[in-house]
Structure 1
Amino acid sequence: MENVYDLAVIGGGPCGISSVVEAKISGLQKVLLLEKGDNHSQTIRTFYKDNKRVDKEYKGMDSETKGKVHFETGTKEDVLNYFDGLLDNEGVDAVFKTEVEKVVKGDDGIFTVITPNAQYKAKNVIIAIGRMGKPNKPEYKIPPSITQRVNFNLDKCGVNEKILVVGGGNSAIEYAITLSTSNIVTLSYRRMNFTRLNEINERDIYKAAKYGDVILRLNTNIESLENENGKVLAHYKDGRDFVYDRVVYAIGGTTPVDFLKNCGVGIDENGVPKIDEHCQSQIPGLYIGGDLITKSGGSIVVALNHSNAIINHIISTK
């Protein structure tokens, strides 16, 4: 059992970081963090401007941390330095630039975490990868020469870009608002009014439009895309044309359903993983935390509290 981790955590966001730190503080000796990016906290690093404030309170959600990892409002740099310190002080094994393909529980009760270059054994696993889903694509063809400028999630988005977000669901709104912190963002939706938004996102997008943070184009349809000097020229059906640095489609798919299913995780009719009050899936020892199980997503405190609930349950069942 010397090569078996007590816990493997997939994803280096707030839930993932908090999970490995809480685990070490609680007495788990061998803890592993796996992250597909080149460092932890990729969303904060990529989409927050320097000195941008990272809020403790988020959309009216619980803002009281319940575990051993606390969090207070601070700048982007404050938050990253804080998480750096947590990882360094607790001596967590961390592997970056590696994407997990599958998690399998063996007959011996030990999980195998499979990546392209290695396999890791663990007694418990936490999936904390955020929302990345398998996307729906538009009916029209995307020219191959601009595929690198067309996204279906936020993974490759940069900063200081002119970005078009296409869609009218909660994911589209959250993409647009997140990107607007460091980019010029237009949101295009084919209907005159939003019909599928939760109250918080509906309020936030109209506020963003009112203050000029997001350019809102309702009742608009994209007819086609083409390359214009390396950028994306979007042809609207009403005859208008606009050039963007990047287009992000959010027209369906918000959770990594295929990955979760490959791991044997139960999924409900809305594509949400089935968990119990401890954030545990129907597979004992396989837990899910963070945005995947949070209706509105985005709350660092809620993610930290998920990790606390999970680690407490793991310790109680040792």
Structure 2
Amino acid sequence: MEHTYELAIIGAGPAGIATAIESYAVGMRDIILLEKDENHNATIRKFYKDNKRVDKDWKGQKIELDGTIYFMDGTKESTLDFFDQMLDHESLELRTHTEVQKIVKNDDGFEVFVAGGSIRAKYVVVTIGRMGKPNKPDYKIPPSIKNQIHFTLDGCGSGEKIMVVGGGDSAIEYAVELCDRNEVTICYRRGTFRRANPTNQADIDKAVSNGSVRALLNTEIIELESESGKVKVIFSDDSSELFDRLVYAIGGTTPSGFLQSSGIREEDGKPVHDENYQTNISGLFVAGDITQESGGSIALGLNHGFAIANYIKSL
């Protein structure tokens, strides 16, 4: 007879790992974490620059931790070490390189479909993030310049003219990171960087003041073209400029196709859930960034895991 796990968790980021740890703490043992990338916390590994600050109170949100996990401010590296230690301590089953295609409810639980087969579980928690699917611009990216368009710093070198598009924390961090060895412009459709945390606001103000970064505020891009091996950026005022490459940091989107294929209802771009983070399908839960307006708070994800674990235990 095919094995049935007590709990399957899709996504091994902070919320997924917290759900596993808190579920273990309340007595569940047959738990599997499914992660499509090669290691846990892929978003932090890919989208956070080295030594980036990671705050418990993200964007100033004061979050009191509810569960057994004691998380504190640190860096990208210390945060990854923290989650490494949690996974090692509890000897939880983490299956990487495993992308979930859809979830199907059956009479005695769920069947989680992956490439080449499926996994059965009594309960399922979806903790996939938003940044795994970065937002892309509305205008077309010509194929001839596709290799010069990025959504992380991967592929960026030195001695280039680069434009970073966006005005949040990631965009500012990318611009500041790149400006030591490149000519950097940051383009943002609003007039200030008020969405960013205070540290990043101070960093970009300093970089702009000393000439390390040029800021194009209240500026909209309407089109990209290829010209002489460069990216030609055309702005809404009909002006244009050539860049070696562009880096977009304009947020991420909920993977609606996956949610829909699994029968999870959405409203306003987020999965619908009750106070226990249970979706419209009994026994199927959501946690972490996917439930948040803009994502990013590790502490909230940890609390989601605690709430779900205790609710399942009470059933």
TM over 0.5, shorter chain: yes
Distance of aligned partners of 1:113 and 1:181 in 2 relative to their CA distance in 1, 3 Å threshold? farther
Distance of aligned partners of 1:203 and 1:86 in 2 relative to their CA distance in 1, 3 Å threshold? closer
Q: What is the CA–CA distance in structure 2 between the aligned matches of 1:126 and 1:163, rounded to whole Å?
A: 40
Distance of aligned partners of 1:300 and 1:241 in 2 relative to their CA distance in 1, 3 Å threshold? same
Aligned pairs for 1:1-318 (under 5 A) are 3-106=3-106, 108-132=107-131, 137-139=137-139, 141-151=140-150, 154=151, 157-158=153-154, 164-166=163-165, 173-177=168-172, 179-180=174-175, 182-184=177-179, 186-189=185-188, 193=191, 200-201=195-196, 209-212=204-207, 215-217=214-216, 218-226=218-226, 232-236=231-235, 238-248=238-248, 250=250, 254-268=253-267, 270-317=268-315
Secondary structure of 2:59's partner? coil
1:45, distance to aligned residue in structure 2 (A): 1.8
Secondary structure of 2:290's partner? helix
1:240, distance to aligned residue in structure 2 (A): 3.4
Distance of aligned partners of 1:228 and 1:279 in 2 relative to their CA distance in 1, 3 Å threshold? farther
In structure 1, the gaps of 5 or more residues are: none
Q: What is the CA–CA distance in structure 2 between the aligned matches of 1:222 and 1:204, rounded to whole Å?
A: 31
Distance of aligned partners of 1:60 and 1:101 in 2 relative to their CA distance in 1, 3 Å threshold? same
Q: Which amino acid aligns with 1:85?
A: Q
Secondary structure of 2:103's partner? strand
Secondary structure of 1:123's partner? strand
Q: Indicate conservation of the 8 Å contact 2:10/2:125, yes or no.
A: yes
What's the TM-score, normalizing by structure 2?
A: 0.81
Q: What is the CA–CA distance in structure 2 between the aligned matches of 1:36 and 1:4, rounded to whole Å?
A: 20
CA-based RMSD: 3.2
Q: Indicate conservation of the 8 Å contact 1:98/1:116, yes or no.
A: yes
Q: What is the CA–CA distance in structure 2 between the aligned matches of 1:11 and 1:159, rounded to whole Å?
A: 26
1:296, distance to aligned residue in structure 2 (A): 3.9
Aligned residues between the structures = 301
Q: What is the CA–CA distance in structure 2 between the aligned matches of 1:238 and 1:159, rounded to whole Å?
A: 29
Q: What is the CA–CA distance in structure 1 between the aligned matches of 2:146 and 2:307, rounded to whole Å?
A: 41
Q: Which amino acid aligns with 1:41?
A: N
Secondary structure of 1:38's partner? coil
Distance of aligned partners of 1:57 and 1:134 in 2 relative to their CA distance in 1, 3 Å threshold? closer
Q: Indicate conservation of the 8 Å contact 1:281/1:288, yes or no.
A: yes
The more displaced of 2-11 and 141-150 is 141-150
CA deviation map 1:71-119 (0-9, x unaligned): 011232222112111111211111112221111111x131111122331
What's the TM-score, normalizing by structure 1?
A: 0.81
In structure 2, the gaps of 5 or more residues are: none
CA deviation map 1:235-285 (0-9, x unaligned): 44643323243442749x7211221111111111x1111111111111111
1:181, distance to aligned residue in structure 2 (A): 6.6
Secondary structure of 1:46's partner? helix
Q: What is the CA–CA distance in structure 1 between the aligned matches of 2:126 and 2:177, rounded to whole Å?
A: 28
Distance of aligned partners of 1:289 and 1:188 in 2 relative to their CA distance in 1, 3 Å threshold? same
Q: Which amino acid aligns with 1:212?
A: A
Q: Indicate conservation of the 8 Å contact 2:164/2:174, yes or no.
A: no
Q: What is the CA–CA distance in structure 1 between the aligned matches of 2:145 and 2:98, rounded to whole Å?
A: 26
1:19, distance to aligned residue in structure 2 (A): 1.1
Q: What is the CA–CA distance in structure 2 between the aligned matches of 1:85 and 1:202, rounded to whole Å?
A: 28
Q: Which amino acid aligns with 1:91?
A: S
Fraction of identical pairs, as percent: 39
1:179, distance to aligned residue in structure 2 (A): 3.8
